[in-house]
């Protein structure tokens, strides 16, 4: 009988790719969804409704592992106070729902793996390479990630091994970050944002999914792990490489920071600032990145 993995956020970019990886590696997969979807021979769907704090408990009770990917997009809409609340609660409420089912039914898991983000280190640019023991920043991204991870700690309090995957920008074919930025570059209008000096911690979708796979099966893994390549990629270098892959050199001037601030409001910090992060901890667990060169990763993602 294959081990069952329950996914939140299973219909998103990462969730869809990860589902294929899990099935290919012999796991059965269940997915929590808000809509009515028919089961397939490989995937079982269960209903949940965060607004009404409802979940089909069978989804949790049959699971051997849970991977929590659900969450509103950070840069989908301007950061109004309501939007900030939605971003946070879309990440913490699912954990609360699952915690209640686990506790009330005295149910254990082999592991609970949750997404997190390198945004925990804050929206500012320094030459520091952030390791997992760095304190969360006191800004919106830092506070949100800290509360997100604190919610996961409640699962750990039940004696369940937990892993938090602090993810950078995810690169994949016509999806994720590239789905937003590639069209303008493909049309010949791509350019550098702000100073261009802000670091862009990134990871290829294949590497990210295999980090999740390793977190399931490696019982030595626990706590937070940065999931991003340690290099010097900045917005400027990323933009130049992307333009080059489309066959031209950037000719437009940089988009001034004040313009992005006017258009995006507070959310502009998510594109105007960025730090490097260390991948040493995940690599010490014997994980090897398949994609550790930004040009190679971008070329594969655009092909």
pLDDT of the chain, 303 residues: tens digit per residue: 899 999 999 989 999 999 999 999 999 999 999 988 889 888 999 999 999 999 999 999 999 999 999 999 998 899 999 999 999 999 999 999 999 999 999 999 999 999 999 999 998 899 899 999 999 999 999 999 999 999 999 999 999 999 999 999 999 987 888 988 999 999 999 999 999 999 999 999 999 999 999 999 999 999 999 999 999 999 999 999 999 999 999 999 999 998 999 989 999 999 999 999 999 999 999 999 999 999 999 999 997
Name the DSSP letter for residue 161: -
Per the CATH hierarchy, to which homologous superfamily does domain 4-168+203-227 belong? NAD(P)-binding Rossmann-like Domain (3.40.50.720)
What local confidence, expressed as pLDDT, does residue 37 receive?
A: 85
Give me the long-range contacts of 278-282 (CB less than 8 A, separation at least 24): 278/129, 278/130, 278/131, 278/132, 278/226, 278/230, 279/226, 279/227, 279/228, 279/229, 279/230, 280/131, 280/230, 281/131, 281/132, 281/225, 281/226, 282/211, 282/225, 282/226, 282/227
Beta carbons within 8 Å of 230's beta carbon, 6+ residues apart: 129, 276, 277, 278, 279, 280
Query: Can you give the pTM of this predicted structure?
Result: 0.96
Distance CA 263, CA 265 (A): 6
Query: Do residues 184 and 216 touch, judged by C-beta distance below 8 A?
Result: no
What local confidence, expressed as pLDDT, does residue 129 receive?
A: 96
Domain chopping of the chain, boundaries: 4-168+203-227
Backbone angles phi, psi at 220, to 5 degrees: -80, -15
What local confidence, expressed as pLDDT, does residue 35 receive?
A: 85
What local confidence, expressed as pLDDT, does residue 176 receive?
A: 82
DSSP assignment of 180-225: HHHHHHHTT----BTTS-SB--EEEHHHHHHHHHHHHH-TT--EEE
- HSE-CB at 159 with a 13 A cutoff on CA atoms is 5
What local confidence, expressed as pLDDT, does residue 69 receive?
A: 98
Phi-psi region of 202 (alpha: psi -120 to 50; beta: other; left: phi over 0): beta
């Amino acid at each position: 009988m294959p081990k069952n993995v329950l996914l939140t956020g299973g219909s998103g970019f990462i969730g869809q790719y990860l589902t294929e990886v899990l099935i290919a590696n012999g796991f059965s997969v269940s997915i929590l969804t808000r809509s009515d979807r028919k089961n397939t021979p490989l995937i079982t769907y269960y209903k949940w409704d965060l607004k009404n704090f409802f979940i089909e408990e069978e989804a949790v009770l049959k699971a051997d592992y849970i991977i929590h990917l659900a969450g509103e997009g950070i840069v989908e809409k301007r950061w109004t106070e309501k939007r900030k609340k939605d971003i946070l609660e879309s990440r913490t409420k699912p954990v609360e729902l699952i915690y209640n089912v686990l506790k009330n039914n005295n149910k254990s898991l082999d592991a609970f793996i949750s997404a997190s983000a390198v945004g925990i280190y804050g929206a500012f640019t320094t030459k520091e390479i952030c390791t997992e023991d760095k304190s969360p920043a006191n800004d919106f991204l830092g506070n949100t990630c800290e509360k997100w991870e604190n919610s996961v700690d409640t699962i750990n309090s039940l004696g369940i091994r937990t892993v938090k995957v602090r993810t950078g920008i995810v690169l994949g074919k016509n999806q994720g970050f590239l789905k937003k930025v590639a069209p303008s570059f493909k049309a010949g209008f791509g350019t550098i944002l702000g100073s261009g000096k802000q670091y862009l911690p990134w990871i290829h979708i294949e590497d990210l999914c295999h980090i999740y796979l390793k977190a399931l099966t490696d019982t030595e893994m626990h706590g937070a792990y940065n999931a991003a390549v340690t290099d010097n990629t900045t917005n400027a270098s990323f933009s130049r490489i992307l333009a080059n892959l489309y066959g031209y050199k950037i000719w437009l001037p940089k988009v001034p920071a004040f313009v992005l601030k006017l258009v995006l409001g507070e959310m502009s910090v998510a594109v105007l600032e960025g730090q490097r992060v260390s991948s040493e901890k995940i690599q010490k667990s014997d994980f090897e990145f398949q994609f550790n060169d930004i040009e190679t990763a971008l070329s594969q993602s655009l092909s």
